[in-house]
Amino acid sequence: QKPSKPPLTMALFYNWEATQDQDDAYRRGGGGADRDGMRRGGDPDGYGGSARHSMRGMDPYSSSLLGGNSDDERYMNESVMVDGDLIPMFELERVEYTPPHRVIGLQVCNGIIAMGLENGNVIRLDISRPHDLEDIRPLKKEHRIHNLFLCPRGKHLLVSMTNGETYYLHTDAPKPPRPKLLARFKGILISAVAWDKQNNDASTTRRILIGTEQGVIHEAQISGLGREVVLTPPLHRLSDVVNPQPITGLAFERCAGTTRQFLILATIAANQGTAEEGTVFHHFVGGPSFSAIFANHRPEVPDSVLLGCVPRPELSLFSPDYHSPAEAFAFLTGTGVYFGDIKSSDTAQANNDNVLTGVDFLEYVQPLSAGEEPNATDSATGLFTRHSSRQPTAIQPAQSLGLTEFHFLLLYPDRFEAICRLSRKRVMSIPLEPFRRSTGNMGRIVHDPVQRTWWIWAEKAIFEVKVADEDRYMWQLHLEHNNFSLALSFCKTPEQKDQVLGARADHYFDRGHFLRAASYYGLTNRPFEEIALKFVRHPEAQLGALKKFLEEKLSTFPEKDETQRSLLCTWLTELYLDEMDELEQAARGGETGHRTVADVRRDFEAFLIKYDSCLHQQTTFSLISEHGRVPELLTYAKIKKDYDTVISHYVQSAVPDMPPNRSAQERYDLETKHLQQALRELLSVEDAHQAADLFYKYSPLLMARVPYHTVNAWLKARDVLSPPLLIPSLMRYKMSSNPPDHPNQDQAIRYLQYAVGELRCRDKSVHNYLVYLLTQKPEHEVALRAFLGDERSTRFYDLEYALRQCLRHNRTRAVVLLYAAMGMYEQAVERALKVDIDLAMQQARKPADNAELRKKLWLRIARHCVENGMNKQAMGILEECHLLSIDDILPFFPDFDRIDDVREPICHALSSYNQRIAGLIYRMDQATASAGLIREDIKLLRRKHCFVQAQQECDLCQCALMSSPFYVFACQHVFHADCLGRAVKARLDAVQREQLAHLEEEIARESILHLEEVKRHGGGVTTVAGSSLATNPTDKTTIDSRLNELQEQLEAMIAEECIYCSNYTISEVDQPFVDEADQKEIDAWSVV
């Protein structure tokens, strides 16, 4: 009977099925696998035929160098499941290419593969273009390749030959590529190269370090496709001159934040073949140059010497990405792996002792033998430990090393293993012995630092190490060490996070850190009742821990779970209230703690605000009321925007229960304090409609008790309140309620004046009530007159109502203003004359558009002045009103009276009369002179003439002027009559053209009648002198008269003014130079 399978491990690539039962094997290429891993049929090497294709025989359109998904090309244990999928953490996949000769060395950088073959050829290809393979022939066929080195970007390739020659090849070299022999490297057998991974210039290597087989370090730089080579003398020697050992590992890193500080790492085998053989690890720190670093180092003092040695100790570094500084290092020794972390900061590298931290050593583990089963003792982590009954034997060291973020990759001659860096346990082991016949001996592990891929080369094959999700179990490993934050950062599923959070919560709960435990319990999916009862039943757990758990749990519930959220919020409300009660009780007993009532109240307020939508309003009000928490009740009411409750509380609290021995002032101060708080709450209401309703509700009471502060609040809420709706509140106002610092200020009048003046309120009731208040007391009469005399206000109050109020309270001056506003100027003047003559004069000036009424008013004032013996004032009226004269005022004087007061005005009036008479005479003389000048001008105009020369031409048609009737203008322009007619006609509008055509028709008709009349009566003979002898002189005269009249009308239209010197030319400024007729002519000549 076959035993059950072990639990899931971290991608254990051990053939579990093959080691349990020979008959239960998976098929590959037509054969099965027995217990020793060999094929029982088909291909004796364990491979299908598809893996033996040559690179040159590949499909030229293939897009990948890697093989397909067939079982012939993958080496994995199909019985091991990872998260329910057949995706292992580490997997070997063979490349569909068989080298034509045995591989000596291989490098992969930036997707470029460079391999050296036994025959001296170098194969170079781009993985993305596998059909473009370069087979580079050596310059000398008899020489063999010692090693080859490729820069991280895949641009620069160094090939070291066994005879000490070095060749250089650049990817941009002309095709076909021919290696460049580097003469300066003559005699140097390169064993290691430290490239500058910060170099972004493909044309040069920049500064690099060269390690040789003699244990010497050089600095070099190659540029210009190998034409420019710089090689320094040896910078440092790491091995003895007598017994030189090769430098097998060499790398340098720049210090973070600077380019002048370096960390150099080097490994070398020491005393090989002796009893004291070992591996030496060096590190150098300094700058600003490599030479300066080695100049300060003592070669006789090595950094680390470890026993045991391998033929080629390897150095491997790990970086998060290509350009980042290395964070960890590891190198091979004869007994295990020496590893540690690297601090790349400049401060750390300034001190050699602090650069390498966490240095430790990992010993090799015994390999799994055939038939041996892993014992999974920890199903949570998937790791296993070995339990074997066989005697321990000498462990064969690894021959190559790779360092990933979480694992050591170790290549042995017979297997490939992965060791977890954190647990130091083997997580993967792939046996390679069954396939050696097909692949040959295994070579090295190679890393592509740019594309972050791993490769293994053998003498006859190339493998890619597929790394998939290698951090999948890091959360469990960190969880075992109680590194909860790190464990949580590696979680990838909700179940993993829940397990980490639960373990973290249990950890804190067991150690009495209940608040921290509650915060993490709330994030887990554990049963709510279990955790809640856990806190309730624990004797040391405080109320705050349960509250913290409920808050965290509440934050995890989605909003759709309204019932659960509401219940939790209600429970939390009760806990907050209980906590405040306990703290107050403790404070009364003299106990103090790290939290006060103010702290809890602040947290409770934040809780109410955050979870307002989850709380049942009536239930919450009841809970708070039962605990008697008035501040919290008001806070929650504000959150719910129930300002009616808040304001009602302060209004009711304004009648405090105070001892009778308290003074009235103390009672008033306390009452005012509460009412002022009510006003502040009113002003804090954000909703305008709600604020207005609350103001209208509570303003009558507030105006009666704190009128000054109420009016101040009204002024601040000007955009919300309507003054007409506040009139009922204003009617509750009493002057006795004024504060001591404003005892005599009428607050109602103050607000109404603001509403009328600043708010521009036009409501009649507001204006009428203001008039009413201003007429009540004599001290307000000045303000009343100012309001009534304001033109902006007189239109909105009721004039008749204002007049009745002013007459009732005997406000005479205000009555005068109201009469004038109503247009009753005579009554206004009569009323004004009883109190002030100046006021009467002001009213007499107002009817500015009615001179007769204004004169009548002034006469009434003058009569009043004369009747009261104010003769001087009566005479002053003549200057105020120019409509009056001394003649209008003199009848008011008695028949027998002294004229001393009126003598000067009378003399002034007589003098004025004389001046006006003289002026009229002067104007008459000027008019007579102007008439004479006009008559002389008319006589001169009748004799005006001009001269026209016989050869003069028409200014329009440029033809002889005398050839037809013409017109001569005063500006000396001359035109033929028909030319002028056509020119003027083109400038006339449609109506004028119709009139002109009608005149021409009339003239033509009359001319025809004239000729017929002449012919009918025998005609007449026209003499040379121009006289006409008609048979009927009377008819001829009539016809001539008609023709002359029509001709004059025609000339008035076409010859009224010169077309060049008159308004005709000015009106044509905006006319185009090319009119419609010209445009038609232009279009007719256009060539299409």
Least confident interval from 309-313, 379-383, 453-457 = 379-383
Q: Pick the closest to residue 794 from 820, 826, 775, 828 (CA basis).
A: 820
Q: Pick the closest to residue 95 from 125, 122, 120 (CA basis).
A: 125
Least confident interval from 533-547, 774-788, 900-914 = 900-914
Confidence of residue 192 (pLDDT cuts 50, 70, 90): very high
In one letter, which amino acid is 154? G
- Between 894 and 688, the more confident residue is 688
Confidence of residue 55 (pLDDT cuts 50, 70, 90): very low
CB 744 within 8 A of CB 777: no
Give the pLDDT of residue 785: 87
Least confident interval from 27-41, 800-814, 820-834, 926-940 = 27-41
Q: Pick the closest to residue 194 from 244, 235, 146, 143 (CA basis).
A: 235
CB 410 within 8 A of CB 417: yes
Confidence of residue 742 (pLDDT cuts 50, 70, 90): confident
Average pLDDT over residues 918-922: 86
Report the distance separating Cα 492 and Cα 116, nearest Å: 42
Confidence of residue 894 (pLDDT cuts 50, 70, 90): low
Give the pLDDT of residue 54: 29
Confidence of residue 1041 (pLDDT cuts 50, 70, 90): confident
Q: What H or E segment, with its residue span, contains residue 699?
A: helix 688-705
CB 114 within 8 A of CB 124: yes
Least confident interval from 420-429, 476-485, 516-525, 988-997 = 988-997
Give the pLDDT of residue 898: 57
Give the pLDDT of residue 228: 92
Is the predicted pLDDT of residue 374 greater than 70, yes or no? no
Is the predicted pLDDT of residue 308 greater than 50, yes or no? yes
Is the predicted pLDDT of residue 867 greater than 80, yes or no? no
Confidence of residue 721 (pLDDT cuts 50, 70, 90): very high
Q: What are phi and psi of 1055, to 5 degrees?
A: -120, 25
| Model confidence pLDDT, tens digit, residues 571-592 | 999 999 988 988 888 888 877 7
Report the distance separating Cα 469 and Cα 491, nearest Å: 12
CB 328 within 8 A of CB 403: yes
Q: What are phi and psi of 527, to 5 degrees?
A: -55, 135
Give the pLDDT of residue 259: 66
Q: How many degrees, rounded to 5, is the angle at CA 549 between CA 548 and CA 552?
A: 85
Q: Pick the closest to residue 771 from 738, 799, 736, 743 (CA basis).
A: 799
Place of tokens 């002003």: 683
Is the predicted pLDDT of residue 123 greater than 90, yes or no? yes
Question: Please, what's the b/e burial string for 834-873 (b: 16 or more CB within 10 A of its CB; e: otherwise)?
Answer: eeebebbbbbbebbeeeeeebbbbbbbbbbbbbeeebbeb
Report the distance separating Cα 1006 and Cα 937, nearest Å: 36
% pLDDT > 90, the chain: 32
First CA to last CA distance, the chain: 105
SS3 state at 240: coil
What phi-psi label fits residue 1018: left (phi over 0), alpha (psi between -120 and 50 degrees) or beta? left
Name, in order, each residue with C-beta under 8 angstroms of 493's C-beta and a sequence gap of 6 or more.
none
Is the predicted pLDDT of residue 623 greater than 90, yes or no? yes
Give the pLDDT of residue 1069: 74
Least confident interval from 46-60, 317-331, 917-931 = 46-60
| Threshold 0.85, pTM exceeds | no
Give the pLDDT of residue 692: 93
Is the predicted pLDDT of residue 149 greater than 90, yes or no? yes
CA neighbours within 13 Å on the CB side: how many for 271?
Answer: 12
Report the distance separating Cα 141 and Cα 145, nearest Å: 10
952 to 503, 831, 959, 961, 979: CA distances (angstroms): 125, 88, 8, 6, 15
CB 682 within 8 A of CB 691: yes
Confidence of residue 405 (pLDDT cuts 50, 70, 90): very high
Give the pLDDT of residue 765: 93
